[in-house]
A and B are shown apart, each in its own frame.
Chain A
């Protein structure tokens, strides 16, 4: 993690560029608000001086008071706008990053994404990206304000009183120095206890994740007391870090309190001797806390930076997922389909996943248009891996797949003509027509009908109360397993693919629906290459060719045989 630090910094800087306008707007508005704020304090000091020492009646100050209220009102309004601009910058950047990350995940493909646990990808995309928001919304504008407002006040104080200027000018820069010193030692303590803090801090989640395991081990009771001890230990070690970490704000507090006290005492002595006037003394006293305010706001948002850095590191893991090697600039839909694919030749294919033995070696076979091929073999033998190769989600470590069109010419780009029906097809909220149009947003009703007919789905769709407009429910809850499979098949057919891959289309189905799905698949193979990974005997019986994978080797049989079931 630590080695990635510079890259992350570069990354967050890169992110900031995306909402440059909003960030700049936030800082500018904040600066204008600061000017008005200082002006309002000046007027306030004037009013109080006039009323107390110049003996003016309250009524005489009416105009100044109105101006004063207008200044503060304006300042607060500008500050509100600055805050909103900052929030907007944070939200925009988060939205951008999330979109880019999703796009990258799509480029990495389903196989590439499995190198990270699905839960971690999800939390990175939700909480991780959310953690970037306060960094851009608060940390960056406040960091900028930390320069603007103190300089403004310093200039003002220089104009008012030399001694106070010296006090503020000396204490101001000392604060970051001491804060850095304390922060540095806090960091080193934190680094020393890092492992312990992480382990203890995650013990609650770890215990929850492992609750079933603990119950199976008969350790439920023991784990409760262990967790109580762990939370207590976590508190103790967190506190030992906080003791030092809070010193950074104590340093800030020290200097700000000290300089207020110093200003008061130093002015007091000179006021007594009559060498300075009350108005400037009072104004400096009003300005002094504001001088340190941005620093305090900044140090309060310091954890925003830490969270954002941690999030950036997790996002970096996500962005470094390798992309699928498939040429990415090819549009998947707009392919000129003069000649359909006639053959798919797989020669000497070896494939597997990093860090594991190859799923199969030297597999060769030919798949032809108009034929239904089933892939059989034990689970884990490599059926899905073979489908992934054909779909282009995975590249073979050696060997190749070549596609030839009906004129016999090899095709360079053919994976755009494949379609896939996975074991658990995606069902989005919406109507049946919406679900189908996922494949082809501009499909006509007639096209939907035709595809549904081909997939043997038309009958049940038309029997539904609202036909194609019927809602599928959450994750297809309103449909049966067989209906979902046939709907997914219809959806795949809507793109009229040359190659259709199906993964266990009949699993989890009762025998009658399984048979129905199998026959629908059989019918689809009339003018395309159909490839089915299956265990199901009925499906195998309908096949023209069977590819049996076992012990890392594949053997194609030309006729369906009971033996490969």
Chain B
């Protein structure tokens, strides 16, 4: 069962908002039915009494039904409002739970399992998929549960006055609740699945186009490319058109069935009236009730489509969440590191999953504790891959890496983080203030410590002149900062963690020489005893380092030994 993930979330904590929402939805639908049902009777009753003469007029009690009408009207107003509030609350709770669950499952897979080979935005898809599954409560569960429960109630109420009318209404409602929406669901399912693949293809093609924009331009192929994308779009839209036609058609069909049922009920009521089994005012009452009853079936075709959408989303989530992380989590707790914290890399090879190219081939090198080492090499050759390797994001094939005398395979990324701080190039800055950003790295850091590291990374001036100091917002993904500032803030995070090891990836990219010098100088005097591995292509950093390693042809060797 694919929605197991969702039903697993109907825990006790969620039980009452979920069923309270349903109860309110049912009461609202019943109030609507009651309002029209009673109004019909009121009008017809008054008309009958009015026609029957003065005695009947005086005998007719207007107060009670009039109060009833007002009661149902008020009830409908109040419950419809509360229903929306409670169901949205429950749906948000569900989405929240689901997100936390998905997040917990995805965390060990980052980053290897979270990159989409086809260029689509996998992460945004997690957002929309969890949304969709969470919303299936308001979009599918509530409409169906309400249609079934209220449909039964409507039939019983009508049946109380005229048994056959109740039966016919039940039959009409049953047809509109099960076969019609279900066949819409069945007919839509292949379309919706096709739509998912078509969307994926379109998105991948679009991503490819954006990546190759320049080449298409120089090839003079831009118009042809737009045409190709347009044809993909046409296929996609044909499917969407088909789905819309189905849904809208089904709704029309149900309205028609509603009228047929009403007419049939009227016929039965008239027959009963002629037989004297039913009073005249009950004919319009039953007719109006019947028309009102079909209101609950209107959202069902859309609910069926929403169900399929949610199912596809749940399947995708499940596949992603159940995927095995490419670096399996260590089974035993991390062993203690022995001093000195030397890094010894012996004969290792690195190949990314699903690729043939070996980034590292039988590479070996050693970094002793307290050393400052630069790693240089041409761009794209795999310098940053070494970070992925040393932080256990990707597995290495063959060879051995030890840190502090222990095999690196016994550690998870989180274990290693206690010893090694990394300032990577593709670091993510979270939406929040500068203080939030720094405290993320070290929750116990106080203002003095923060000021200190900001001075070291040459951001002190910037923060002092920023409108709110440490409480200045850095924007979504740090977009309110310049590239150089963002990079230095990341460096500040790494420094604040105060670990014996520091790995820096191009720490001074985008800085002028003066700032670069001040930064490196400050860094080394602030952390004289730290072991630093600095990945760079800038010669200006090399004087700050003890020695240089070069990465070329999958090998890492001291600079002077490069062939």
Q: Which residues of A line the B interface, CB within 8 A? A: 40, 44, 47-48, 51-53, 57-58, 65, 68-69, 72-73, 76-77, 79-80, 83-84, 87-88, 91, 94-95, 98-99, 102-103, 105-106, 109-110, 113, 117-119, 121-123, 125-127, 133, 137, 199, 202-224, 227-228, 231-232, 234-235, 238-239, 242-243, 246-247, 249-250, 253-254, 257-258, 260-261, 263-265, 267-269, 271-274, 277-278, 281-282, 285-286, 289, 332-333, 355-357, 378-380, 391, 393, 418-426, 428, 438-439, 441, 474-475, 481, 488, 491-492, 495, 504, 507-508, 511, 535
Contacts and interface: CB of A to CB of B under 8 A. Distances in A.
Contacts of B431: 199, 202-203, 206
B70 A261 contact: yes
B510 to A, nearest CB: 8
Contacts of B381: 507
A48 B430 CA distance: 66
A507 B370 CA distance: 34
A243 B85 contact: yes
A213 B266 contact: no
B149 interface: no
B219 A126 contact: no
B215 interface: yes
A253 B65 contact: no
A40 B262 CA distance: 13
Nearest to B376: A378
A380 B509 CA distance: 9
B210 A209 contact: no
A91 B414 CA distance: 48
Given A209-B428, A212-B393, A265 B66 contact: yes
Given A52-B284, A257-B77, A272-B49, A439 B107 contact: no
28 contacts: A47-B266, A80-B249, A87-B241, A91-B237, A106-B222, A109-B217, A122-B121, A205-B123, A206-B431, A212-B424, A214-B440, A217-B441, A227-B99, A231-B95, A231-B96, A253-B76, A263-B39, A264-B43, A265-B42, A286-B291, A393-B214, A419-B218, A419-B219, A424-B212, A428-B228, A438-B219, A492-B218, A535-B379
Contact of B212 (A88, A209, A239, A426): A426
A501 B244 CA distance: 49
Contact of B203 (A126, A268, A282): A126
Given A204-B103, A254-B77, A268-B42, A495 B127 contact: no
Contacts of B224: 438, 441
B484 to A, nearest CB: 9
B124 A507 contact: no
A40 B259 CA distance: 10
Interface string B246-265: 00110011011001101100
Contact of B110 (A48, A215, A238): A215
A426 B380 CA distance: 18
A71 B106 CA distance: 56
Contacts of A269: 46, 62
B464 interface: no
A51 B270 CA distance: 7
Interface of B: 35-36, 38-40, 42-51, 57, 60, 62, 65-66, 69-70, 72-74, 76-77, 80-81, 84-85, 88-89, 92-93, 95-96, 99-100, 103-104, 106-107, 110-111, 114, 118, 120-121, 123-124, 126-127, 130, 199, 202-203, 206-222, 224, 226, 228-230, 233-234, 237, 240-241, 244-245, 248-249, 252-253, 255-256, 259-260, 262-263, 266-267, 270-271, 273-274, 280-281, 283-284, 287-288, 291, 357, 378-381, 391, 393, 413-414, 417-418, 421-422, 424, 426-432, 440-441, 443, 476-477, 482, 493, 497, 509-510, 512, 537-539, 553
A455 to B, nearest CB: 14
B77 A250 contact: yes
A231 B312 CA distance: 23
Contact of A212 (B44, B96, B111): B111
A360 to B, nearest CB: 15
B43 A267 contact: yes
A420 B241 contact: no
B218 A391 contact: yes
Contact of B96 (A113, A122, A210, A235): A235
Contact of A106 (B74, B216, B253, B422): B216
Contacts of B46: 267-269, 271-272
Given A243-B85, A428-B228, 9 more contacts: A102-B229, A122-B120, A126-B202, A219-B440, A231-B99, A264-B69, A268-B65, A356-B510, A380-B537
Given A249-B81, A420-B215, A123 B241 contact: no
Contacts of B50: 271-274
B417 A215 contact: yes
A-B pairs, top 9 by smallest CB distance, nearest first, are A218-B417, A426-B212, A231-B96, A210-B428, A211-B110, A110-B214, A271-B46, A264-B39, A257-B73
B214 to A, nearest CB: 4
Contacts of A65: 263
Given A199-B431, A239-B92, A250-B81, A231 B537 contact: no
Contact of B497 (A47, A118, A217, A474): A217
A492 B443 contact: no
Nearest to A331: B220
Contacts of B199: 126
A268 B44 CA distance: 8
Given A99-B226, A126-B206, A217-B497, A106 B217 contact: yes
Contact of A122 (B203, B245, B357, B418): B203
Contacts of B234: 95
A548 B193 CA distance: 54
Nearest to A210: B428
B252 A227 contact: no
Nearest to B234: A95
Contact of A535 (B43, B202, B210, B378): B378
A51 B269 CA distance: 10
B188 to A, nearest CB: 15
Contact of B271 (A58, A137, A393, A421): A58
A239 B39 contact: no
A260 B73 contact: yes
A533 B443 CA distance: 46
A219 B537 CA distance: 30
Contacts of B66: 264-265, 268
B81 A246 contact: yes
Contact of A72 (B237, B259, B273): B259
Given A122-B206, A261-B70, A422-B212, A378 B357 contact: no
Contact of A439 (B106, B219, B263): B219
A413 B266 CA distance: 82
Given A106-B226, A217-B440, A268-B46, A208 B123 contact: yes
A438 B223 CA distance: 11
B214 A122 contact: no
Give the residue among B45, B47, B262 with the most A Cβ atoms within 10 A. B47
A504 B80 CA distance: 65
Given A48-B284, A250-B80, A118 B211 contact: yes
B55 to A, nearest CB: 12
B121 A119 contact: yes
B62 A80 contact: no
A110 B213 contact: yes
A378 B288 CA distance: 82
B99 A204 contact: yes
Contacts of B260: 69
Contact of A206 (B44, B233, B430): B430
A83 B43 contact: no
Nearest to B130: A204
Contacts of A425: 212, 215
B158 to A, nearest CB: 16
Nearest to B204: A474
Give the residue among B93, B209, B482, B512 with the most A Cβ atoms within 10 A. B209
B453 to A, nearest CB: 14
